[in-house]
Every structure is written in structure tokens, then in C-alpha cells.
Amino acid sequence: MTSPGYRISGFRPTHVVPQDGLAAWDAPDPSLPTVPLDALLPVELVERRGDWGHVRCANGWSAWVDGRLLVAVPQDPPAAGAPLARTADPRPLLARAEQALAGYRGAVEELTGGALDRESFRVRTRGQRIGIVVDGESVWLYDAEHERWVYTDGTRLSTYAADREPAAPAREPTQVVPDLGHAPTQVVRGDGGGIGSG
């Protein structure tokens, strides 16, 4: 890494690293670990690939991280009375949890009432994951769509924990490079600004 005092121009942090630090990788591949990021380090998210996030630090160093665990830097406060952004509003996730719980409860009612046998109950509830913990104003919700736990104080959501390591992104088609029969030409700028080839 470069000197901590060095800052690249145009760096604008969009997120910070969680307070426990964050594992990092050279590429969106769990087999290529690199130096972990320090707790509360400001970073700029420059690319997303599924669960993976490519971040850049103020000194120009970059790495891939579990993008679900990054903590978003608050933007300017919304105008008074403006509705919450859909991504920050806990109500849609609360509504999904409520619907999922109602579906599970309905299946339990049918099972205990004899309208559903054990195997049908198993099939109907397979893959369903619901989680909610309420402690006063603090609420932890399981977000099944993104396989993570989120925390809310009633107004904004933030990621609390993820279920698994970030998933590998979908493979992009391999670009075929034509065989030119020789090594590629290398352009080198000399001190006088001249250009030579190798």
C-alpha cells in the first residue's frame, strides 16, 4: 500500500468499513485473499458484481470485499417531510416478513387441523426463512432476498451480518484475442516525450 498521507484526486467515500474490519480479496474470488481493510476506513465503491464490491481507498489501493457488509456514508439529509428512500425504509422488509410469517402460520394451522399431512407441510415450507427480533426501538430483520440480517431503529436499514461469503459473480464471456504471430507492441514514452516500440 502507498503512504497513508497520499490521497488520490477525485476520491469521494461512499461507504466505510464495519467496526470489526473487513476481509478483502484481489479479485471477486474467495481463493485470492489480500490484506484486510481496517475498521471504519472510508472507501469508495466503484463496482458491484453480485455480492462483491470493488472498493478504492483514499491512497489509491483497491480490493474486492463483501459489498453487503459495507456501511453507507449518509448523504445530505432529505428535505423535511420527504419520504424515505425505498432502500432505507424498513417497512417493505417488515411487510415481507409479516407475509412470510402469515404463510407459515397458515401451513401450521392446516397441519394441526389435519388438512395437511407432514410431507405436504415439509414441501410447502421448504426454503422458507423468516427472522425478526424486536427489542424496544431496535429491530433485527432477516432479508431472505439478500441472505443477510439488517438492523433498524425504525427509520433506516443497515446490514448487520451476512449468511455466507460473497457469491462468485456470473461468468462473463471470455474475450478471444487474435494471434498476431508476435509479441504485442509496447508503447514507451521517453523523457523527451518521444514514442518508441518494443
The residue extents of the domains of the chain are: 15-72, 91-162
CATH of domain 15-72: 2.30.30.40
The closest of 69, 33, 32 to 48, measured between CA atoms, is 69
pTM of the model: 0.43
CB 41 within 8 A of CB 15: no
**Angstrom distance (rounded) from CA 105 to CA 99:** 10
What is the model's pLDDT at position 122?
A: 92
Distance CA 188, CA 77 (A): 49
Please list the rounded mean pLDDT of every run of 10 residues in the chain (198 residues).
50 87 93 92 90 90 92 57 54 89 93 93 90 82 81 77 68 47 44 42
Q: Which of 48, 55, 50, 53 is nearest to 66 (CA)?
A: 53
